[in-house]
Amino acid sequence: MSTVTSVPEGTVNPYALNHLDSLESEAVHIFREVAGEFERPVILFSGGKDSIVMLHLALKAFAPAPVPFTLLHVDTGHNFPEVLEYRDRTVAKHGLRLHVASVQEYIDAGKLRERPDGTRNPLQTVPLTEAIQQHRFDAVFGGGRRDEEKARAKERVFSLRDEFSQWDPRRQRPELWQLYNGRHAPGEHVRVFPISNWTELDVWQYIEREGIELPEIYFAHEREVFSRNGMWLTAGGWGGPKEHEATETRLVRYRTVGDMSCTGAVDSDATTLEAVITEIAASRLTERGATRADDKMSEAAMEDRKREGYF
Amino acid sequence: MTTPILPALSAERLSATTLLRFATAGSVDDGKSTLVGRLLHDSKSILTDQLEAVEQVSLSRGQEAPDLALLTDGLRAEREQGITIDVAYRYFATTRRRFILADTPGHVQYTRNMVTGASTAELAVVLVDARNGVVEQTRRHAAVAALLRVPHVVLAVNKMDLVEYAEPVFAAIAEEFTAYAASLGVPEITAIPISALAGDNVVEPSAHMDWYGGPTVLEHLETVPVSHDLTACHARFPVQYVIRPQTAEHPDYRGYAGQIAAGVFRVGEAVSVLPSGRTTTITGIDALGESVDIAWAPQSVTLRLADDIDISRGDLIAPADDAPPVTQDVEATVCHVADQPLSVGKRVLLKHTTRTVKAIVKDIPSRLTLDDLSQHPAPGQLVANDIGRVVVRTAEPLALDAYADSRRTGSFLLIDPADGTTLTAGMAGTAFAAAPEPVVADADDAEWDF
């Protein structure tokens, strides 16, 4: 067998990038491609760790100029107050513009109906897609990662959506080299996932390396919770707990941030980034398996929601 | 020795790792899903809830053992039909390295998907069933890896347990494959005898094959060099975006943002801007907020230049004494990836690095049969999954390298201007790398069938 290597074994290649630098460089390239080719891009920003990392990458990509994108948050009305506070503080700090699409307003106006199970995650699709149409966004950045879920693992970095925001997995464009094809007809848009190739651990390591501030709920703290479907949910005005569900105070933290009605906390004593990383590296559960109720609804729950226009 | 799995890692050890992107290719029943499943499973990358979900579905279908293919077949249609339709990306890690695995379908009609997976891969694993040896599909996979210039190819001779772990079986297959792939110009081939099902030489060394002294699949993936000697590469910087803050703090800042496609750039270096050909000097390099003296591929940086010349997205910055030729006539090997055919006379868009230009297909001189590498002259058109030669005339000049010199600046897409469909993946220049000179030209060479 021939063995032709460019660098002799045992030597350190001075030009090798570590995995975080590789992922960062790739994500920045994607942000700049969108800035170069689209008219009205927007970053989905929820105040969750993935969107916080995305904003951080966008800030670095265009420095010392400001980020050339606005932000959009789909507020379910059941968001954690600490996260909303973080969102508003961050937007103000960087002089950004934030659009908020409110699920509560849609419910109050009778355009959406509350589900019997109380979860509002699936209800986000309509306000999201209407906001995209209303503001004529042609590129919508999302913090989706392919390691999160098996339907996401199949999605391209540039994901074309039709005028109804629908994803058709069988009509995806092959994505070759780093040549992203963002062509779309008027009314269509492209969902863009710059951190597709990151894992949950990569996100946390990057947060640590870059010294990025996060909402407090990502770190262990005492919280009033109750158990539902094997998850610790935060008690609150959104509708929990029910009569038979007893609350207790536990030391917990969140691995994901979403709607309070379907995002569970995990038992944890990790109060620092280092402790969180150690905990994640040892965890035998995926982030979604541990803390998201809506993905457990059916085998293809995510694929079905994505087809309808969800991220 | 295999390296410990993730849970034993400290944060410091984790952050020192590099990233390897690789692709797997194999025919339908070669055991690719089993190999992928085992790599993921034995590196502890399948977590409890994922495995439980797979077990639940397998059980509900009446299967006795969990079907690991369900882990990678993420779409409804894939699970319903029991086949992999599209490329799936998987992620796993050891103490030494992070891996991005492009898991590509094996069916002939999905050649375009292997091309997709191989386009960003630094290594390809080609799976062979030890009982069948090198078959048409194996040659096709080797040819695609060679066309896409994947730097490292691993031949995994699977199902060794079904041939009594016999060395001669492995040796014959390895020899045939290596000779074939080397003739296509694949620079490095590593053959490994494995049983994905029994776990031989995938993560753990086999107890059944004392005669094999090489690495396991995972060991090889962990140690194969991923970055090349960039000082030997032609430096290339496609301009993505011009950064001009025009703020009180930075009234005069003007930087050219992009990802270095190849080679190294230094402050003080004389550069040419293509296609205009104007020359200037690099006065500063900003690496995502930090000022540096030197930067290299694939870093995303911002270059500042001495002269305020007209540069915009789509231009290419290269060393003044090592700039690529500028041309409007592109000759290339292409893989057609769309359902609608590509015909002579078709008007298209050509996307090369950050530049998209109008173009017309002037000629399709030949179509390649991957099975035997024979050329069919003047096919008139290319249909989905065809690989062929095309000649394209562009409306504007391009600074195009040969794909052999740079996968990044020698590759392009043809796009349908009507609906935006990605039609064709293009690689400029000659199709296969020249075969390396044989060290000893002995009589055996005459028996090679190519």
CB contact under 8 A, B258 and A17: no
Selection from A235, A239, A251, A271 nearest residue A119 by Cα: A239
Which pLDDT tens digit goes with each residue over B395-416?
Answer: 999 999 999 999 999 999 999 9
Lowest-confidence segment of A64-78, B66-80, B122-136, B227-241 by average pLDDT = B66-80
Residues of chain B found within 8 Å of residue A184, distances taken between Cβ atoms: 420
Chain A residues closer than 8 Å to B428 by CB:
none
Per CB-CB distance under 8 Å, the chain A contacts of B6 are 281-282
State the DSSP string of B91-106.
EEE-SSEEEEEEE---
Q: Name the closest residue on chain A to residue B261, using Cα atoms.
A: A178
DSSP B234: P
pLDDT of residue B304: 97
Which chain B residues contact residue A185 at CB under 8 A? Answer: 419-420
Q: What is the pLDDT, as a whole number, of residue B90?
A: 86
pLDDT number for residue A12: 55
Check A299 against B79: CB less than 8 A apart. Answer: yes
Tokens 């998209």, residue located: B356
The chain B residue lying nearest A3, using CA atoms, is B188
Q: Which two tokens stand for residue B27?
A: 């025919």
- B227 vs A13, A32, A286: nearest CB: A13
Q: Does B298 sit within 8 Å of A1, measured CB to CB?
A: no
State the residue for tokens 């089993």: B34
Can you give the pLDDT at residue A229? 78
- What pLDDT is attached to residue B433? 65
pLDDT higher than threshold 90 for residue B280: yes
Interface mutation vs chain B, best among A32, A34, A175, most B CBs within 10 Å:
A32
Q: How close is the nearest chain A Cα to the Cα of B276, in Å? A: 20
Token pair 């492209």: residue: A190
Of the partner residues A9, A160, A286, the one whose CB lies closest to the CB of residue B47: A286
The answer, yes or no, to whether residue B434 has pLDDT greater than 80, is no
In the predicted model, is pLDDT for residue A296 greater than 80? no
Set of chain B residues whose Cβ sits within 8 Å of the Cβ of A32:
240-241, 257-259, 300
**pLDDT tops 70 at residue B79:** no
Distance CA B90, CA A121 (A): 26
Closest Cα in chain A to B245 = A65
Smallest Cα–Cα separation from A70: which of A126, A19, A134?
A: A134
**Rounded CA Rg of chain A:** 20
Q: What is the pLDDT of residues B211-259, one digit of tens each?
A: 999 999 999 999 998 877 787 889 999 999 999 998 899 999 999 999 9
Q: Measure in Å the smallest separation between the Cα of B101 and chain A Cα atoms.
A: 10
- Give B-chain residues touching A174 at CB under 8 angstroms: 112-113, 115-116, 337, 422, 425
- Give B237's contacts in chain A (Cβ within 8 Å): none
- Quote the pTM value: 0.90
Residues A109-148: tens digit of each pLDDT: 998 888 877 778 788 889 999 999 999 999 999 999 988 8
Give the pLDDT score at B450: 28
What torsion do the CA atoms of A125, A126, A131, A134 make, to the nearest 10 degrees? 140
Residue A98: is it exposed, middle or buried by C-beta count within 10 angstroms (0-12/13-18/19+)? middle
Share of chain B above pLDDT 90, in %: 62
Q: Give the residue on A whose Cα is nearest the Cα of B187.
A: A4
Q: CA of A203, closest CA in chain B: separation in Å?
A: 12
Residues 6 or more apart in contact with residue B273 via CB below 8 angstroms: B279, B280, B309, B311, B315, B316, B317
Contacts of A199 in chain B (CB under 8 A): 91, 93, 98
Element (H, E) at B14: helix B11-15
Enumerate the residues of chain A whose CB falls inside 8 A of the CB of residue B86.
154, 169, 172
Comparing C-alpha atoms, which of B364, B350, B355 is closest to residue B422?
B350
A309: region left, alpha or beta (phi > 0 left; psi from -120 to 50 alpha)? left
Q: Which chain A residue has the Cα nearest residue B241?
A: A36
Nearest to A36 among B7, B113, B354 (CB): B354
A255 contacts A291 by C-beta, under 8 angstroms: yes
When the pLDDT of each residue in chain B is averaged and rounded to a whole number, the result is 86
C-beta of residue B172 within 8 angstroms of C-beta of residue B166 = no
Nearest to A170 among B47, B77, B337 (CB): B77
Structural contact between residues B333 and B427, judged by C-beta atoms closer than 8 angstroms? yes
Residue range A221-234: mean pLDDT, rounded: 87
Inter-chain CB proximity B189 and A1 less than 8 Å:
yes
Average pLDDT over residues A178-189: 94
- The answer to whether the Cβ–Cβ distance between A285 and B15 falls below 8 Å is no
The pLDDT of residue B347 is above 60: yes
Residue B28 half-sphere exposure toward CB, CA atoms < 13 A: 7
Measure the CA–CA gap between A74 and A45, rounded to whole angstroms: 8
- pLDDT > 50? residue A104: yes
Range of lowest pLDDT (A207-211, A288-292, B315-319, B421-425): A288-292
- CB contact under 8 Å between A63 and B289, yes or no, is yes
CB contact under 8 A, B227 and A16: yes
Paired with B411 in beta bridges are B427
Q: Write down the mean pLDDT value for chain A.
A: 86
| Number of cross-chain residue pairs from A and B with Cβ atoms under 8 Å apart | 240
Give the pLDDT mean for B14-27. Answer: 80
Residues of B within 8 A of A53 (CB-CB) are: none
> Least CB-CB distance to A29: which of B16, B300, B419?
B300
